[in-house]
C-alpha cells in the first residue's frame, strides 16, 4: 500500500470525488464520497461468480488519504465510467458531475431487477394514451428510418406508421390473466434483465439510443456475454417506453 498523503484539493477532480464533511474550525477535509458511486452506481459484474450480492452503497473515504485505494476502487467498481472520465480534459472533468442526479435518487433504482425475468403489469390508460399516443410521433419515427431500413416496404404512409407503432409497442401484451381490470390491462416481460438494466443506466447518463446500443455491444464483446447479443437502437426505444410506463404507474400509485 502506498503511504498516506495529506489531502490535496486536486483529488476532487483527479479521482472524481465530492467533499462531504469539513472541519468547521480547521477547514480540513474530513470525508469525501466517490462520485461514480453516487451518480452512476457500481457497474454490473456480468459473468462473475459472487459470494455476496453486489452492493449499491456509496464508497466514502476519510483521512489518512490513500490515493492508490481510490484509484483501485474506480478501476474495479467503475471500469467503463472511469475509462470515460479519464479520457476527459481537465476542464470537462470539473463540470462532469455538476448536473447529474444521485444514483440513489434515480427512479430505476426502485425497480426490482435482481431476478432472471422482469414482469410488469400496467394500466390501459398509461399504455394506450401516454406511451402509444403522446410518446409516439409519426413524423419523427419516419425520419429515423428513412433511407436506413430497406426492408420496410409499405404501400402508404399510414401503413408504414402502423407498422412502426406495432414495433415500438411490441413489448406491451394484453394481460389475459385479468378480466375488465383497466389498471392491469397490459403486461410486459423482460427476459434479458442485464441488457435492460444496462440500457436504462446508459440512457440515464445522457447517451442516445444509438450510443447505448454501441456501448452495450462493447460490453458484450469485452465480457463475451451471449445474453447481451442482438441489441439495437430500436430495442433501446422499446425498453425506454417500458421504463417510462412503469415509472408513471409507480408515481400514480403514490398519488
Domain layout of the chain by residue ranges: 11-104, 118-254
Q: Is the bond into 226 cis (omega within 30 degrees of 0)?
A: no
Q: According to the model, what pLDDT value does residue 160 have?
A: 72
Q: Which residues have C-beta within 8 Å of that of residue 208, sequence separation ≥ 6?
A: 233
Give the helix ranges, DSSP H, for 126-180: 138-145, 157-168
Residue 193 pLDDT grade (very low, low, confident, very high; cuts 50, 70, 90): confident
Q: In what order do the strands lie in the sheet with 186-190?
A: 118-122, 186-190, 173-174
Give the cell for residue 163: 407498422
Ranges assigned E (strand) in 47-190 = 60-62, 118-122, 173-174, 186-190
Give the cell for residue 212: 447505448
Give the cell for residue 47: 459473468
User: Comparing C-alpha atoms, which of 25, 49, 54 is closest to residue 37?
Assistant: 54
Give residue-wise pLDDT tens across range 77-135. Answer: 999 989 999 998 988 888 888 756 554 445 445 455 455 678 888 888 899 888 887 77
* Class of residue 153 by CB neighbours under 10 A (exposed 0-12, middle 13-18, buried 19+): exposed
- State the Cα angle at 125 between 123 and 130, rounded to 5°: 115
Q: Does the predicted TM-score (pTM) go above 0.75?
A: no
Residue 228 pLDDT grade (very low, low, confident, very high; cuts 50, 70, 90): confident
Q: According to the model, what pLDDT value does residue 48 have?
A: 47
Report DSSP state, residue 193. H
Give residue-wise pLDDT tens across range 142-183. Answer: 555 554 554 544 446 677 777 777 888 889 998 877 666 677
How far is it, in rounded angstroms, from Cα 29 to Cα 48?
36
- State the Cα angle at 238 between 237 and 243, rounded to 5°: 95
Report DSSP state, residue 72. H
Amino acid at each position: 500500500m502506498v503511504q498516506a498523503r495529506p489531502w490535496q484539493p486536486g483529488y476532487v477532480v483527479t479521482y472524481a470525488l465530492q467533499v462531504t464533511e469539513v472541519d468547521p474550525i480547521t477547514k480540513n477535509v474530513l470525508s469525501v464520497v466517490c462520485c461514480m458511486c453516487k451518480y452512476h452506481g457500481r457497474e454490473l459484474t456480468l459473468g462473475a461468480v459472487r459470494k455476496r450480492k453486489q452492493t449499491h452503497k456509496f464508497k466514502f473515504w476519510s483521512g489518512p488519504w490513500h490515493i492508490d485505494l481510490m484509484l483501485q476502487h474506480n478501476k474495479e467498481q467503475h471500469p467503463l465510467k472511469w475509462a470515460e472520465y479519464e479520457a476527459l480534459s481537465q476542464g470537462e472533468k470539473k463540470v462532469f458531475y455538476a448536473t447529474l442526479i444521485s444514483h440513489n435518487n434515480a427512479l430505476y433504482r426502485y425497480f426490482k431487477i435482481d431476478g432472471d425475468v422482469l414482469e410488469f403489469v400496467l394500466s390501459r390508460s398509461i399504455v394506450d394514451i401516454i406511451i402509444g399516443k403522446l410518446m409516439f410521433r409519426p413524423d419523427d419515427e419516419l425520419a429515423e428510418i428513412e433511407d436506413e431500413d430497406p426492408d420496410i416496404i409499405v404501400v402508404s404512409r399510414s401503413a408504414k406508421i402502423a407498422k412502426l407503432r406495432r414495433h415500438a409497442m411490441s413489448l406491451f401484451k394484453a394481460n389475459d390473466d385479468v378480466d375488465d381490470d383497466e389498471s392491469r390491462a397490459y403486461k410486459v416481460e423482460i427476459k434479458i434483465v442485464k441488457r435492460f438494466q444496462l440500457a436504462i443506466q446508459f440512457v440515464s447518463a445522457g447517451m442516445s439510443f444509438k450510443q447505448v446500443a454501441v456501448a452495450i455491444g462493447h460490453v458484450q464483446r469485452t465480457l463475451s456475454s451471449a445474453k447481451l447479443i442482438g441489441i439495437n437502437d430500436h430495442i433501446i426505444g422499446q425498453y425506454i417506453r417500458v421504463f417510462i410506463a412503469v415509472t408513471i404507474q409507480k408515481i400514480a400509485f403514490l398519488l
